[in-house]
Structure 1
Amino acid sequence: MVKIVVFDSGLGSLSIIKAIQKISKSEIIYFADQENFPYGEKSQAQLSKIIKNSIKLLDKEFSPNFIVVASNTPSLMLNLTSKKIIDVKPPLKEALKLSKTKQIGILATKSAIVSNGLTQYIKENNFSKKLKIFKINGSDLVDLVESGKFISNKKYCNKIIKKILEQILFQNNIDTITLSSTHLLFLKSLLKKQFPKINFVDPSEIVAKKILLMIKNNQSKKNSLKIFATGDTKIFELKLNKLGIKNKVNLIPF
């Protein structure tokens, strides 16, 4: 049976887990590190310590085949090199295929957009100089998801989405945006409704397909999900219940 650990600082991992379970079968351990939310406001030194400790603990506790770092922020800011580790980065090549104006936005956390890692990642792709990439701070949108407002107060969410995106999109003729925080995938329907002509590119399917190739001949008979968290597990259970997930959340202390 293939065992995959998927983790980030909260609800973001669910978008990746949903995509994985849609096209393959495996045992998934979901770890929500609530105590360190949000990753997007951590320094590189802080984040490095958090992620290294998390990977070490999860590897020791669960002995997984793969560990998915389901957050763009550490994936961009840290050098996560291991055959066992799968990271999530902005799907720029897919965005380029969709864009007609060749003006693309990367919507990510504050830490990610100012990181050297994102600058280097863009350089490594060696895009044409005709392509222009705009880095957009989406930390306030991430908070809308983790706070649960994307369920309880859509009117407020729409107001914040408009405030953050409207001016930069239309002033720069941006027609494609990468959703480069896994939390942002929960806002995709609201984003599409407010900006119907914009392409919002979801990285979760790319990650899921990558995993499928790795486990193709070694899948489990059925999907299973166990959930662990730091912090108040009861509060996190309530958040999950609102999303229709009734699994028990187990405490995993550091």
Structure 2
Amino acid sequence: MVRIAVFDSGVGSLSIIQEMQKTFKSEIIYFADSQSFPYGKKSQAQLKKIMRKSINVLEKFSPDFIVVASNTPSLMMNLVTSKIFDVKPPLNEAKKLSKSKQIGILATESATKSKRLSKYIQKNIPKSFQIFKINASKLVDLVESGKFVTEKKYCIKIIKKELQVLHENQIDVVTLSSTHLPFLKKYLQKEFPNIQFIDPGNIVAQKIYSKIKNKQSKRNSLKIFTSGNTKEFQNKLLKIGIKNKVNFLSF
């Protein structure tokens, strides 16, 4: 049985996990480090410490692979090994899809300000393209708080306010470069019907599948842990239809 550990600072991992479960069968250990939410407002030094602790605690489960299901640390530090997968903006896909050559990257505050993102863009996108780095931290909060389920009108209001830049330019492709953001995709598509929103979850799932396709499990299983309040996180998951028991996991 293939065992994969997936983690971030909250419910963002679930968008990656859902794509993984559609693509292949495995045992998944999901760790929501709620105590460290949000990653998007942490410094590189703080994130480095959090990543080291999280990976060390997940190694105790003896996973075959570990997925850092967050764009922010993936962009701000080099985490990839033969065992560790990360999530970065799918710029090659965006480049192929864009006709206006104007691409938006929705990411957290830390990610949009990081030099690593700038270097990543320079490496993957020709100078003929215009890239808009858009702070989506308030949208991440809509997902983590559960308001995207319970307060739809409020969500639409925040999306309109925070993403005015999408109306003001000829952006035709946007990467959802926080794993929380795919939960808002329906809202985004309704508000911006002429823009294609790319979720990198399937890309990550396909990369893992290429490694495990000949040794899949017979069925999917999911064990959930949090570093925060288990009842609060359980209630958060119930709002989005996930009934699995939540266990406490300490560093």
| TM-score of Structure 1 vs Structure 2, range by shorter chain | over 0.9
The SS at the match of 2:6 is strand
**2:14 and 2:168 mapped to 1: Cα distance?**
33
Q: Deviations over 1:73-108 (max 9, x none)?
A: 000001113111000000011111111101000000
Runs of 4+ in structure 1 over 3 Å off? none
Letter in 2 for 1:142: V
- The partner residue of 2:249 within 246, 249, 252 is 252
The SS at the match of 1:214 is helix
1:183 aligns with 2:180: yes
**1:83 and 1:128 mapped to 2: Cα distance?**
29
Q: Deviations over 1:137-169 (max 9, x none)?
A: 000000000011000001000001001112x11
8 Å CA contact 2:80, 2:86 repeated in 1: no
1:154 aligns with 2:152: yes
Letter in 1 for 2:199: D
**2:195 and 2:30 mapped to 1: Cα distance?**
31
Q: TM-score, normalised by structure 2?
A: 0.98
- CA-CA distance at 1:243 after TM superposition: 1.1
Q: Which runs of 5+ in 2 are unaligned?
A: none
The alignment yields a C-alpha RMSD, in angstroms, of 0.8
Q: Deviations over 1:202-237 (max 9, x none)?
A: 100000111110101110011000001101011000
- CA-CA distance at 1:170 after TM superposition: 2.8
Q: Deviations over 1:177-226 (max 9, x none)?
A: 00000000100000001111111011000001111101011100110000
Letter in 1 for 2:163: L
1:40 maps to: 40
2:105 maps to: 106
Kindly, what percent of the aligned residue pairs are identical? 67
| Matched ranges for 1:67-216 at <5 A | 67-125=66-124, 127-166=125-164, 168-216=165-213
Letter in 2 for 1:148: G
**2:101 and 2:123 mapped to 1: Cα distance?**
18
**2:129 and 2:172 mapped to 1: Cα distance?**
12
The SS at the match of 1:182 is coil
- CA-CA distance at 1:24 after TM superposition: 0.3
8 Å CA contact 2:4, 2:66 repeated in 1: yes
**2:119 and 2:134 mapped to 1: Cα distance?**
17
Aligned length: 251
Q: TM-score, normalised by structure 1?
A: 0.97
